[in-house]
Chains A and B, each alone.
Chain A
């Protein structure tokens, strides 16, 4: 022991460890190129404070901002068979899955949760575009069915945030079969007389748009979201002409009668509270900074087991 080990080495170590602050403190807006501080982005729900461009937001971040006090309970999704077709392109499908799990920290492309928004108990499902382009395979199908079943069991509305490049090719026909499967899920809600609200986020395309994402009682989209069946590139190749500016964007669909509303992400929570409360014939919400529901609230609610404890992270 001498002053080198006792004093100098810790000092050196501390200098190096202090360097280990997050490197990506700043991010560039994909649309206007403005440099934004990471706190500024997350406080603004990943919307550019300069140009209002809506960047991707993970289901977990979205739920934290959506639910009262950021508290939600994750709903378990039945696990499907992994790689049912033993699919292999340039990579094996299980390797692609593992890589997506590593980069996102999530198990699959959809998160389902229960919680309260403005004291209205709801079930929410959100698709994760960062996980293999949010693509719809058997897991996503199971997640939507689980969400609908949970909503029916608890008598709550379902709010679904869609974001997907379409069906997951690596599951072949079984991904296509999620179109009828998720449609059955929507029918369960309709038969139980429960509201189903879809929030279409950028991008929502292909078999996802052509099934559960277009069957909502209320269809809301985030500004400038691409929403389509066939993507613009495919159409340009087919008809061999340039498509007009804004084609297949949220505002364009609103104009063509395909949506009820286009709503800024920062106003969505309020709007969803207002809508669900009216559809559920609940009195108007009391506005204010709502804390997480306490144990008393949960006990007083219709479903005592629904909202408890902290969010799982």
Chain B
């Protein structure tokens, strides 16, 4: 069953009616509903174009969090071969919110790391809704170190509401773990490319996205704080998330203007979840293109370029 977002309600009605008509016709050979259903389809398509033509920042947040949106696991399964998960931080445990391991991208061995949110109740709980704990960041550091030693590029897929705000996570040094992961991103002498595939939630995202190249899917978001969190602090009212989402400039398009995102990857009409295969293929092409950009750079140049990039982010503001 398709999951509709609140602003897609009118669309849900039309698509629902078309579906109903066809269901009725299936039980009765004499009914011919196809022309009527097709008309509804056309209406739905037009409405979809209209709805997605100019999504407000808050609606983009909703699309970015869509439960049916392809997640890290879907990308890894579709784009990489011989994916071999590698687990654990060698200190405390393994964090299922972070997937990571060796894999091949177009036959080239790479290290792939990403946040996984899960796609049903059970897997969401197992993955902690993509909110990593210190073990997850420390596992990532370990994998990045390995990539660095063996000269393998690192691909990160970012999709997290943020680092997990829990008691154990704090006790085990959540902030230190994030800081070390960001530090590691800046140290490794191999190409590091990142794609924000859904939500880029604050420090938990930076820890993976401090990369030579950062791409964002068209309806993904990347922000210092969730719109709800920002609204409750600055507006003292968490229902002001629409205003907060607007003010935070968290869309891929704004971040591209600010120089935080290097590329914006187009999504199929109606969002990545309406045609996951196409969205995933676009992401695959972009990852390959971003890695090709960095071909021929030696380790020192890669580190230098990465640092320079971040030192200069924000030089011009939105005016740029």
Interface residues of B in 202-216 (CB under 8 A from A): 202-203, 206-207, 210
Q: Is the interface of B mostly helix, strand, loop or mixed?
A: helix
Binds B, one of A63-71, A206-214, A286-294: A206-214
| Interface assignment of A90: CB less than 8 Å from any CB of chain B | yes
Q: Is the CB of B206 within 8 A of A256?
A: no
Q: Is the CB of A184 within 8 A of B186?
A: yes
Binds A, one of B60-68, B98-106, B222-230, B290-298: B222-230
| Interface assignment of B253: CB less than 8 Å from any CB of chain A | no
Q: Is the CB of A89 within 8 A of B258?
A: no
| Interface assignment of A199: CB less than 8 Å from any CB of chain B | no
| Known A89-B247, A180-B210, A238-B165; contact A138-B175, beta-carbon cutoff 8 A | no
Q: How large is the interface on A (under 10, 10 to 19, 20 to 34, 35 or more residues)?
A: 35 or more
| Interface assignment of A177: CB less than 8 Å from any CB of chain B | yes
Interface residues of B in 295-320 (CB under 8 A from A): 307, 310-311, 313-319
| Interface assignment of B178: CB less than 8 Å from any CB of chain A | yes
Chain A residue at smallest Cβ distance from B185? A180
- Bits for A43-86, please: 1 = Cβ < 8 Å to B, else 0: 00000000000000000000000000000000000001101111
| Interface assignment of A88: CB less than 8 Å from any CB of chain B | yes
| Known A86-B318, A184-B186, A229-B170; contact A173-B249, beta-carbon cutoff 8 A | yes
Cα A228 to Cα B171 with chains together (Å):
9
Cα A274 to Cα B314 with chains together (Å):
39
| Interface assignment of A167: CB less than 8 Å from any CB of chain B | yes
- Bits for B132-146, please: 1 = Cβ < 8 Å to A, else 0: 000000000000000
Cα A234 to Cα B250 with chains together (Å):
22
| Known A215-B179, A229-B165, A239-B166; contact A172-B223, beta-carbon cutoff 8 A | yes
| Interface assignment of B4: CB less than 8 Å from any CB of chain A | no
| Residues of chain A within 8 A of B165, CB atoms compared | 229-230, 234-235, 238
Interface residues of A in 205-233 (CB under 8 A from B): 206-207, 209-215, 227-230
| Known A173-B224, A180-B310; contact A247-B315, beta-carbon cutoff 8 A | no
Cα A187 to Cα B304 with chains together (Å):
12
| Known A86-B318, A183-B182; contact A173-B234, beta-carbon cutoff 8 A | no
| Interface assignment of B260: CB less than 8 Å from any CB of chain A | yes
Q: Please tell me which one of the listed residues B163, B170, B206, B317 contacts residue A176 in the complex, with CB atoms under 8 A apart.
A: B206
Cα A78 to Cα B260 with chains together (Å):
21
Q: Please tell me which one of the listed residues A85, A175, A180, A258 contacts residue B182 in the complex, with CB atoms under 8 A apart.
A: A180
| Interface assignment of A179: CB less than 8 Å from any CB of chain B | yes
Cα A214 to Cα B178 with chains together (Å):
9
Cα A85 to Cα B202 with chains together (Å):
17
| Interface assignment of A174: CB less than 8 Å from any CB of chain B | yes
Chain B proximity of A196: nearest CB distance (Å): 12
Cα A172 to Cα B318 with chains together (Å):
11
| Residues of chain B within 8 A of A80, CB atoms compared | 314-315
Q: Is the CB of A179 within 8 A of B313?
A: no
User: Could you name 13 residue pairs across A and B whose Cβ atoms are closer than 8 Å?
Assistant: A81-B319, A85-B317, A85-B318, A169-B224, A171-B224, A173-B248, A173-B249, A174-B313, A177-B310, A183-B210, A206-B203, A211-B203, A214-B180
Give B residues with C-beta under 8 Å from A: 163, 165-167, 169-176, 178-180, 182-183, 185-187, 202-203, 206-207, 210, 222-225, 230, 233-235, 243-244, 247-250, 255, 258, 260, 307, 310-311, 313-319
Give A residues with C-beta under 8 Å from B: 80-81, 83-90, 138, 145, 167, 169-177, 179-181, 183-184, 186-187, 206-207, 209-215, 227-230, 234-235, 238-239, 243, 247-248, 256-258
Using A173-B250, A176-B206, A229-B203 as known contacts, list a sample of 8 further A-B pairs with CB atoms less than 8 Å apart, ordered by residue number in A: A87-B247, A169-B230, A171-B314, A179-B182, A210-B182, A214-B173, A229-B165, A256-B173
